[in-house]
Amino acid sequence: MSFAPLDIAHPYLLFLGDAPDALAAKTARGVAQFRPEWCLGQWRLPDCKADLGLPELDAAAAAALGARTMIVGVANAGGLLPEHWQGALIEALESGMDLASGLHAKLTDLPAVAAAAQRLGRQLHDVRHPRQDYPVGKGRLRSGKRLLTVGTDCSVGKMYTSLALEKELRARGVKADFRATGQTGILIAGCGVSVDAVVADFMSGAIEAITPDNEPDHWDLIEGQGSLFHASYAGVSLALLHGSAPDALVLCHEPKRRHMRGLPHYSLPGLKECAEANLAAARLTNRNVRLVGASLNTSNLEPAERLAALAEAEGELGVPAVDPLVTGAARIVDEL
Amino acid sequence: MSFAPLDIAHPYLLFLGDAPDALAAKTARGVAQFRPEWCLGQWRLPDCKADLGLPELDAAAAAALGARTMIVGVANAGGLLPEHWQGALIEALESGMDLASGLHAKLTDLPAVAAAAQRLGRQLHDVRHPRQDYPVGKGRLRSGKRLLTVGTDCSVGKMYTSLALEKELRARGVKADFRATGQTGILIAGCGVSVDAVVADFMSGAIEAITPDNEPDHWDLIEGQGSLFHASYAGVSLALLHGSAPDALVLCHEPKRRHMRGLPHYSLPGLKECAEANLAAARLTNRNVRLVGASLNTSNLEPAERLAALAEAEGELGVPAVDPLVTGAARIVDEL
């Protein structure tokens, strides 16, 4: 059924279920924002409070328009797949679509859904749960170029920054591919690996597998995870640095973050300290790695504060600082 | 059957199967060396070429002497459990023993063995495959003291060093427990977690779980894994540093190692560089961490070379350097 390498067929129908608010549908919003050309519509159940402004379609209507996968793009309390969604999930399968979900609960653990997929020959993509076996990392430099986003903390804009860089490079005619390492990123890319769900021994090998040899002028834009300074997840971040063997790093940061996410007793590292630690670790597998930019999430700042924060980061790090959603990522791409 | 926290009942019968040579039984040898009081005997099939010098017992004889678990302490090509061992495995279950294995192949995947265990109410411990769910690491300092062994590479003596330190501390009447993080260590300790088989998100949380709050004068001696300088496994090593929140580090090294294990294109880091990188990373969760010793595996050196290597390490690091199997670990314990 779904032991094939993760490769999600598009276009998509975005299933929003009965999302209690807009935030619950943030996975679907990310997909709609970065892959609008793949998103034919949204399917909302009664009481759904999220709205992405896409055409309202049910399974049959979406399939008739050519949708190949329905994305479960909504988070429920506890990451569960509630009983009352099952009818819609099975309807999608029966209409000819595969299913993909970024939730912790697995589609394959729902007996009626799994049976329908089996019977109909459809794929079930539980993108948080790697099904493939990955090799142990080899630390070998590959051809082609690689950029990894790193951060002072979790959830500071590493995925958005990687996608903005891909967009800017492609707009300039440069061969570039976003490489997804988390569930939302995988739904946006249509492939990738949820690296924090991989068995520890194979973390760096999984990253090597999704960033193989490529054309000399091709860029992989690799989505970072966590932070070397996050006590819960730093091991994942280090494996990403080593597996990526990056030529370039972009340091991501949210200026008003008060403490490390989930760890109120930990403060954030300084930008300079964080950049140097990441460069030192990255040199193990690519001695020519360099910092090419900083990316700040300034959505909580006033315009004057934003300019000050960007200028301060540039002064501290000596590289261009951008907020990709406000200023674009062009100044970083100029550095590549 | 075996979803309970890993806790392996002793004493043990060591099953050596038809080990083709002594090296194939190195897991069993480690158990016999560090827990001789738990090892009632060995069970060897015809053609077995390994011999630990223990009494020859079969399942019934060992059970009659009180053995509670039969340890599959032998590696086969590919880490497999060959068909012709199954009779002995089931005989052990029928004699009243649990089974524990450090192989990649799982006891629970052998239908006849799993059925016998179910029927008889016995435990099957596949110690390489964590069955428990672990929480995300919290980075909280716990009461009690912790020492972690770190290394320039994999397989440089981190487990032996941790066990030698436990032995020396206990001999001095200090409360001390070896905390196992790999399969041989788990069979020696009777509990622990195979950290490189844990899902990435939960690595540091698993280490926190096996080193909980303890009495203020109690020492955990935590078995390290890999190396911060090993391109395949450094993420696991970093999670161990953060999850351990160690008060003390001991740096392990093998002087004649030519390149990183499994990575012929990578040379080993210098002792000083390696110590400093480990201390810097460890400070995130315990700012008072210090290096208390170096442990060299000098088994390949002539006596004169050994003395020179130990003196050189002491000079470079400014802490006592020992080979625990030759000089003992007393000089490191003096530092604690």
Q: Say if residues A74 and A15 touch (Cβ distance below 8 Å).
A: yes
Q: Is there a domain that residue B120 lies in?
A: yes
My answer on whether B309 and B260 are in the same domain is yes
Range of the domain at A19: 12-126
Amino acid B22: pLDDT: 87
- B200/A197 touch (CB, cutoff 8 Å), yes or no: yes
Chosen from A238, A266, A285, A289 to mutate, greatest number of chain B CBs within 10 A: A238
Amino acid A23: pLDDT: 84
| Six-digit token string for A192 | 């990738």
| Amino acid (one-letter) located at B228 | L
- A204/B238 touch (CB, cutoff 8 Å), yes or no: no
Contacts by A304-309 with C-beta closer than 8 Å and gap 24+?
A: A305/A255, A309/A255
B279 touches chain A (CB under 8 A): no
Locate all alpha helices (DSSP H) within chain A, ordered by sequence: 26-34, 59-64, 86-94, 111-120, 158-171, 183-189, 203-210, 234-244, 271-282, 303-317, 330-335
Q: Is there a domain that residue B30 lies in?
A: yes
Å between B301 CA and nearest CA of chain A: 29
Amino acid B69: pLDDT: 97
Of chain B, the percentage scoring pLDDT greater than 90 comes to: 88
Tell me the chain B residues in contact with residue A228 when contact means C-beta distances shorter than 8 Å.
238
Picking from A93, A126, A159, the residue at the C-terminal end of a domain is A126
How many Å is the Cα radius of gyration of chain B?
A: 20
Picking from B96, B126, B156, the residue at the C-terminal end of a domain is B126
The helix (H) or strand (E) run that includes residue B188 is helix B183-189
Q: Least CA distance to A240: which residue of chain B? A: B235
Please determine, for residue B23, whether its predicted confidence score (pLDDT) is greater than 90: no
My answer on whether A120 and A151 are in the same domain is no
Could you read off the pLDDT of B112-150 as tens digits, one per residue?
999 999 999 999 999 988 877 899 999 999 999 999 999
My answer on whether B93 and B183 are in the same domain is no
My answer on whether B58 and B206 are in the same domain is no
- At residue B60, φ and ψ (nearest 5 deg) are -65, -45
Q: Is there a domain that residue B2 lies in?
A: no
Chosen from B284, B286, B287 to mutate, greatest number of chain A CBs within 10 A: B284
Amino acid A77: pLDDT: 67
Could you read off the pLDDT of A159-215 as tens digits, one per residue?
999 999 999 999 999 999 999 999 999 999 999 999 999 999 999 999 999 999 999
| Average model confidence (pLDDT) across chain A | 94
- B235/A233 touch (CB, cutoff 8 Å), yes or no: no
My answer on whether B112 and B162 are in the same domain is no
Angle at CA A282, nearest 5°, toward A277 and A284?
115
Cα separation values, B202 from A240, A294, B193, B229, Å? 16, 29, 11, 21
My answer on whether A195 and A120 are in the same domain is no
In this complex, the residue of A228, A235, A285 whose CB is nearest that of residue B204 is A235
My answer on whether A115 and A256 are in the same domain is no
**Unique residue bearing structure tokens 């749960």:** A129
State the number of CA atoms in the 13 A half-sphere of A134 facing the CB: 30
My answer on whether B162 and B238 are in the same domain is yes
Burial level of A37, CB count in 10 A (0-12/13-18/19+)? exposed
- A204/B235 touch (CB, cutoff 8 Å), yes or no: yes
- A242/B235 touch (CB, cutoff 8 Å), yes or no: yes
Amino acid A80: pLDDT: 80
Could you read off the pLDDT of A297-325 as tens digits, one per residue?
999 999 999 999 999 999 999 999 999 99
- B234/A236 touch (CB, cutoff 8 Å), yes or no: no
My answer on whether B156 and B89 are in the same domain is no
- A200/B235 touch (CB, cutoff 8 Å), yes or no: yes
pLDDT band at B4 (very low <50, low <70, confident <90, very high): very low
Q: What is the CATH number of the domain that holds B193?
A: 3.40.50.300
Please determine, for residue A5, whether its predicted confidence score (pLDDT) is greater than 80: no
Q: Is there a domain that residue B110 lies in?
A: yes
My answer on whether A266 and A150 are in the same domain is yes
Please determine, for residue B330, whether its predicted confidence score (pLDDT) is greater than 60: yes
B232 touches chain A (CB under 8 A): yes
- A284/B136 touch (CB, cutoff 8 Å), yes or no: no
B141 touches chain A (CB under 8 A): no
A311 touches chain B (CB under 8 A): no
- Range in A68-82, A115-129, B128-142, B239-253 with the lowest mean pLDDT: A68-82
In total, how many domains does chain B have? 2
Tell me the chain A residues in contact with residue B139 when contact means C-beta distances shorter than 8 Å.
231-232, 263, 265-266
DSSP code, position B165:
H
| Six-digit token string for A114 | 């799994």
My answer on whether A121 and A232 are in the same domain is no
pLDDT band at B3 (very low <50, low <70, confident <90, very high): very low
Q: Least CA distance to A195: which residue of chain B? A: B200
* Helices A234-244, B203-210: crossing angle, 10 deg rounding: 140
| Six-digit token string for B236 | 């696991």
Predicted-complex ipTM score: 0.91
Q: Least CA distance to B261: which residue of chain A? A: A138
A284 touches chain B (CB under 8 A): yes
- Range in A2-16, B14-28, B284-298, B307-321 with the lowest mean pLDDT: A2-16
In this complex, the residue of B200, B229, B281 whose CB is nearest that of residue A284 is B229
Å between A238 CA and nearest CA of chain B: 5
Amino acid B104: pLDDT: 83
Please determine, for residue B5, whether its predicted confidence score (pLDDT) is greater than 50: no
Q: Is there a domain that residue B138 lies in?
A: no
Amino acid A123: pLDDT: 95
Helices (H) and strands (E) in chain A, counts: 11, 11
- For residue B109, what are the contacts with CB-CB under 8 A and spacing of at least 6? none
Amino acid B103: pLDDT: 87
Residue range A72-81: average pLDDT?
79
Å between A325 CA and nearest CA of chain B: 29
| Average model confidence (pLDDT) across chain B | 94
Å between B187 CA and nearest CA of chain A: 20
Could you read off the pLDDT of B192-226 as tens digits, one per residue?
999 999 999 999 999 999 999 999 999 999 999 99
How big, in percent rounded to 5, are the helix, strand and coil portions of chain B? 40, 15, 45
Of chain A, the percentage scoring pLDDT greater than 70 comes to: 97
Q: Is there a domain that residue A221 lies in?
A: yes
The rounded distance, in Å, linking the Cα atoms of A170 and A36 is: 16
Q: Is there a domain that residue A131 lies in?
A: no
- B235/A198 touch (CB, cutoff 8 Å), yes or no: no
Amino acid B6: pLDDT: 63
pLDDT band at A1 (very low <50, low <70, confident <90, very high): very low
Q: Say if residues A277 and A297 touch (Cβ distance below 8 Å).
A: no
- Residue-by-residue DSSP string for B231-299: TTTHHHHHHHHHHH--SEEEEEE-TT--SBTTBTT-PPPPHHHHHHHHHHHHTTT-TT-EEEEEEE--T
Q: What is the CATH number of the domain that holds A21?
A: 3.40.50.720
Q: Is there a domain that residue A135 lies in?
A: no
A273 touches chain B (CB under 8 A): no
pLDDT band at A6 (very low <50, low <70, confident <90, very high): low
My answer on whether A97 and A222 are in the same domain is no
**pTM, rounded to two decimals:** 0.93
Q: Least CA distance to A280: which residue of chain B? A: B277
- A231/B138 touch (CB, cutoff 8 Å), yes or no: yes
Amino acid A304: pLDDT: 94
Q: Say if residues B309 and B302 touch (Cβ distance below 8 Å).
A: no
- B239/A235 touch (CB, cutoff 8 Å), yes or no: yes
Picking from A126, A159, A188, the residue at the C-terminal end of a domain is A126
